[in-house]
């Protein structure tokens, strides 16, 4: 993609460019040669939980023979599904 020149940017800052925009035929980013990176299937998050809760989660996960982080994901997923059924 071509990098705009400083003079070009200054010119467009001074002019009304709304006449150049066709609202009936909007462009997609791909039409402009721009691609956004794909979101990864998972993201890392960090939350603070009470130590007592973490210990309970670890104990329960151990009983089910799964990592406690996987247990947290399962619990969150199940709860979200229940919540969306109610609405």
Q: For 70-86, how does the pLDDT look when each residue is reduced to its tens digit (9 = 90+)?
A: 999 999 999 999 998 86
Q: Where are the domains of the chain?
A: 6-86
> What is the value of pTM for the model shown?
0.53
Q: What are the backbone dihedrals phi and psi of residue 65, each rounded to the nearest 5 degrees, phi first?
A: 60, 45
Show the low-confidence residues of the chain (pLDDT under 70): 1-13, 17, 86-87
Locus of tokens 């709860």 = 79
* Distance of alpha carbon 68 from alpha carbon 56, whole angstroms: 10
């Amino acid at each position: 993609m071509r990098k705009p020149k400083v003079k070009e940017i200054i010119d467009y800052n001074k002019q009304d460019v709304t006449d150049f925009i066709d609202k009936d035929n909007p462009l997609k980013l791909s039409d402009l040669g721009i691609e956004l990176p794909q979101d990864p299937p998972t993201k890392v998050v960090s939350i603070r939980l009470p130590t007592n809760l973490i210990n309970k989660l670890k104990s329960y996960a151990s009983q089910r023979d799964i990592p406690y982080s996987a247990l947290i994901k399962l619990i969150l997923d199940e709860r979200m599904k229940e919540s969306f059924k109610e609405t």
